[in-house]
Amino acid sequence: MRIGDLGGSRFTKTDDIDKDVIITITDVGQEVFEEPNGKRKKKAIVHAAELSKPLVVGSVGIEQLNKIFGTTARDDSDGWIGKRAVLYVDRNVVFGGKLTSGLRFKPLPGKRGSIEDMESDVPM
C-alpha cells in the first residue's frame, strides 16, 4: 500500500496521478470548500470513468474544459458528460500564494484547443 493512500482523501490528488490519463466525464456536480484564506468557495466536482475518486475542479480547470469541449459558462455542465480530455499534473501551479502542483486538463492529441491557445486564454 502506498503511504499516500493511508491518509484517505475522498478526491483525486496530484499524488494519485503518475502519468497523463485520458478521462471520460461521467458526472458533474458542485460542492462548497473553505479556501486557505477562510472564504468559502463553490467548486465543480467531476467524476470520470477512469478514476476511483472524483476531481475537484477550480476556475482554471473549468476554463480548460470549456476550451477543450467548445463550451462556455452559459452552457449546461451536462454537456461535458461522455466527453474526454487528458488529465495531467502541472508542477507550476500557484495556490494560496505558494508554488505547488495541481491537476490540469488538455485536449486529446489531435483535438480542438491547443495547449498554447489554452495557456494564453486562461488567467494566471
pLDDT one-digit tens code per residue, 6-33: 667 899 999 999 999 999 999 999 999 9
- The neighbouring-strand residues paired with 29 are 45
Question: What is the grid cell recorded at 24?
Answer: 471520460
Phi, psi of 6 (to 5 degrees): -70, -30
97 vs 96, more confident? 97
Question: What is the grid cell recorded at 68?
Answer: 477543450
Under the banding of pLDDT at 50, 70 and 90, the label for residue 110 is confident
CA distance 124 to 113: 18
What's the mean pLDDT in 26-49? Answer: 93
Predicted TM-score of the model (pTM)? 0.80
Specify the DSSP class assigned to residue 10.
S
Residue 111 · residue 83 · CB < 8 Å: no
